[in-house]
């Protein structure tokens, strides 16, 4: 199964100009819509813009303006609920594990290639499925509360009769 990548908007966050441009070119060649930011602050401003909607964020682990990228990752996951792919030159198991444990959807080691980003649309699809599942739980809870309230009202009416 494949996805229409042209409907997916990706925000890239990296303070290295070469990596930023190289990754943007890879993603655009794969037909993703791309926007970039050089610092965590710039990324947060971009994310808070009501005009911008992002399906996925790809960020360097050691970005400017945040403590080693993990704070940025937690903030994105908690406030914006957008899947995040972490990338770094550091390729040790403990760092990769920590990134994944903190909520990263994927970890990509630099130097990367186009092949590393070919299937990132799957993270967007998974996030949308999860969102639909959570929303359906809220709908079911609201329906149950409504039914419960109606049942209590009917019981009170019967007792009065």
> How many helices and strands, by DSSP H and E, does the chain display?
5, 5
User: Measuring CA to CA, which residue among 75, 65, 53, 64 is closest to residue 9?
Assistant: 53
97, two tokens: 């594990």
Q: Do the Cβ atoms of 30 and 118 come closer than 8 Å?
A: yes
| pTM for the structure as a whole | 0.78
Does the pLDDT at position 1 exceed 50? no
Confidence of residue 146 (pLDDT cuts 50, 70, 90): low
User: Measuring CA to CA, which residue among 13, 57, 67 is closest to residue 38?
Assistant: 13
23-71 pLDDT per residue, tens: 999 999 999 999 999 999 999 999 998 877 899 999 999 887 776 688 8
What phi, psi does 82 have (nearest 5°)?
-115, 135
Total length of the chain? 161
Q: In a 3-state reduction of DSSP, which class is residue 51?
A: coil
Report the sign of the C-alpha dihedral through residues 105, 109, 111, 113, in that order: negative
119-145 pLDDT per residue, tens: 999 988 887 787 665 556 665 555 555
Beta carbons within 8 Å of 51's beta carbon, 6+ residues apart = none
């Amino acid at each position: 199964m494949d996805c229409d990548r042209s409907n997916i908007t990706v925000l890239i966050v990296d303070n290295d100009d070469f990596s930023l441009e190289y990754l943007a070119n890879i993603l655009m060649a794969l037909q993703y819509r791309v926007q970039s930011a050089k610092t965590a602050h710039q990324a947060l401003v971009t994310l808070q813009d009501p005009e911008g909607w992002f399906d996925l964020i790809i960020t360097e682990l050691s970005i400017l303006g945040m403590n080693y990228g993990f704070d940025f990752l937690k903030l994105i996951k908690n406030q914006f609920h957008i899947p995040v792919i972490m990338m770094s030159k550091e390729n040790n198991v403990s760092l990769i594990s920590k990134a994944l444990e903190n909520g990263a959807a994927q970890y990509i080691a630099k130097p990367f290639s186009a092949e590393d980003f070919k299937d990132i649309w799957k993270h967007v699809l998974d996030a949308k499925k999860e969102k639909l599942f959570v929303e359906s739980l809220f709908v079911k809870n609201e329906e149950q509360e409504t039914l419960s309230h109606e049942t209590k009202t009917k019981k009170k009416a019967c007792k009065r009769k």
